[in-house]
Amino acid sequence: MTDSPTKPRRYRGASGDQRRAERCQQLLDAGLSVIGDVGYQACSVRSICAAAGLTERYFYESFANKEALLAEIYQAQTDYLKANMLAAFTRAERNSEAFAHAGLHAFFDTLHQNPAVARLLLFEILGVSDTMDRLYYEVMEDFAVLIRSLASSLGLADIAHTPNQDIIYAGLVGAVIQIARRWALTGYQDSVDAVIGSSLFLFVATANYASPATQ
């Protein structure tokens, strides 16, 4: 008896690992599409498999259950969102206003271009389970770090003097998220500039109040 219980074989020009990864990606894409369309709890594993053009067996090959799929999609999409924002930062002029504007534009534009992503990130993630709630918290703290760098670009070098910076940054993240939620719930009627401008307003106000030297 050798240690090779299964001999991987090439299929359709791809190795076993490649095919598995491809199927996994198809499921992630289909999951995002279906969840973004009908919501997380209203969709079934079967419907996601059908959308992916795969059968249930391949679902459980890659994910333990529906929640595991949701977690991976959430991670992937928040990473994507962060990447877009970071890219926007590097592309922007090195001027406070433009810098902050670029980051917020990347944020709102990504959600606007991908309503499924918006629905998943803004609505479907809460109240699923304690595990997912914690993941939400971690992601929010992550964004707080991003916001912090954004805020520092506005001359808000440090609210360091004020106590409980973490809470204040969490609040700013919450403000932007809520503005995005409201935007989505009203069918994206407001212009992108309006939501960016209002977010920026809150940032600048906080920055100015924290260190009015820039005024």
Partner DNA sequence: CAAATTTGACATGCCTTCGTGTCACTTTAC
Partner DNA sequence: GTAAAGTGACACGAAGGCATGTCAAATTTG
Footprint on residues 63-82 left by a second copy (CB under 8 A): none
Contact between 55 and DNA (CB under 7 A)?
A: yes
Instruction: Look up residue 207 and give its two tokens.
Output: 């920055």
Single-letter amino acid, residue 90: T
CB of 128 to DNA, least distance (A): 12
Distance CA 175, CA 206 (A): 12
Contact between 19 and DNA (CB under 7 A)?
A: yes
Member of 21, 25, 39, 44 binding DNA (CB under 7 A): 44
Contact between 97 and a second copy (CB under 8 A)?
A: no
Contact between 147 and a second copy (CB under 8 A)?
A: no
Which residue, 58 or 107, is less far from DNA as judged by CB?
A: 58
CB of 36 to DNA, least distance (A): 17
Partner interacting with residue 58 (select from a second copy, DNA, none; CB below 5-8 Å by kind): DNA
CB of 69 to a second copy, least distance (A): 15
What one-character DSSP code corresponds to residue 160? G
Whether the CA torsion 75, 76, 77, 81 is positive or negative: it is positive
Distance CA 49, CA 39 (A): 15
Torsion of Cα atoms, 65 then 71 then 77 then 81, to 10°: 180
CA angle centred on 117, ends 111 and 120, rounded to 5°: 125
What one-character DSSP code corresponds to residue 206? H
Member of 31, 58, 62, 150 binding DNA (CB under 7 A): 58
Member of 19, 20, 112, 181 binding a second copy (CB under 8 A): 181
Q: What are phi and psi of 104, to 5 degrees?
A: -65, -40
Distance CA 134, CA 90 (A): 30
* Binding stretches for DNA (CB under 7 A): 6-13, 16, 19, 44-47, 53-58, 60, 65-66
* Binding stretches for a second copy (CB under 8 A): 39-42, 123-130, 133-134, 136-137, 140, 162-164, 167-168, 170-179, 181-182, 185-186, 190, 194-195, 197-199, 201-202, 204-206, 208-210
